[in-house]
Chains A and B, each alone.
Chain A
């Protein structure tokens, strides 16, 4: 069964350092998402991406964050200068089509990258 893969599974970084979280979405999917989940809290939307550009972003997704699809398979989230409060599980997701166009479609999530900022 196709799946979304994320690497690394766990990353520890020092405050102020840049990190890049990597995702390989399902191959025929067109829409990509990043979510984060701070320990014990809800899954929060960060950004959606389609056709090599950001479709939507939340208020969390400030100038410290950026996303990129550097090639035909990878989808990355970069945090430029990490803060302690960036410590969370980061989930990548992909879907075949945009949620609204088909009246809703399921998103497939990766297993997450646990980011710890020290």
Chain B
């Protein structure tokens, strides 16, 4: 619930544009994962982050543990980027992931 706040809840993008999603954490977070869920429900792993930044193609993600947030940047959005993006935090103590509420991204021509 409130432990991982994800924003925005929905995002409409035109092809070729850039955008960013954000998660703020109210718990001490050791690692962050980002997923993309397709309409059938399958969760695809995008990033697994310790504090720092990773990049994969048009996606880049940062996890700042000191300021308790993570971002996912989408560059040059394509139609296949549409779906629901979730961040998930692993709290100290190694418990299961705590999910954000998701960002539904729609990319249009």
Q: Is the A/B pair a real complex?
A: no
**A interface list, Cβ under 8 A from B:** none
Give the interface of B toward A (CB within 8 A): none
